Amino acid sequence: MYKILVVEDDISLRSQLVDTLRVNGYEVFYVEDFHTVVEQVDRLQPDLIVLDINLPYMDGNYFCRAIRKKHNMPIIFTSARNSESDQILSMELGGDDYVVKPFNVQVLMSKISASLRRCYGEYNSGSSGGRDITVKGITLDDLGMKLSYKGESYELSKNEYKLLKIFMQNPDEVISRETLLGEIWDDKSFVDDNTLTVNMTRLKKIFESMGLENSIKTKRGMGYIFSTGEIDE
């Protein structure tokens, strides 16, 4: 039985989430003392965290950053903040998904189920036997989920790794948004299209930090392409 930790200060919403999660067969815990969120994560070792952003004392982004120093369990943010910049910030700090309030609880349940399957279950097939992928001097570490280029190494989230693996297996080919959604999220009907946009923005920023500003390009109305033409080996 998977353990879920709910970090939500809205008592009514928290009660609804806890009840629904328990009905769906999860072992559920929730935070009441928001001074000790990280300590409770350390003690409970949950398999997944549902984390609100607007919390007393410190916000969810602060707690996510602190949790990521020790733990790798999936974190799904919930927030009334619906701007792309807010979502990018939260996911850059280590979030795995982001649900905008008000939301349909069943949509959140689907995202929780999908995250658990990807991390622990049937979709977590691990590496492909440790076979790294190298394209024009850029190496994707299949075991460590890292990107390396000219002696520098960059940590990737699980979704960033999966997206980049698709691109590096199909360099200089346009990959449609629908294909990317289908490869990364098992049930596209419950995926906010903006979630893909946020992950792609994060990937582009990683390549920019490598000095490869135009390696991942948006093809309007078509999708994205990993362009290798300007990469020096």
Segment 77-87, tens digit of pLDDT: 999 988 888 88
Query: Which amino acid would we find at residue 159?
Result: N
Q: How far apart are CA 23 and CA 194, in angstroms?
A: 29
Which residues of the chain carry a pLDDT beneath 70? 121-131, 183-193, 232-233
Residue with tokens 């399957």: 117
As a whole number, the mean pLDDT across the chain is: 85
pLDDT at 127: 40
Spatial CB neighbours of 90, under 8 Å, sequence gap ≥ 6: 53, 60, 61, 64, 77, 79, 98
CA distances 20 to 44, 96, 106, 107, Å, are 20, 21, 9, 12
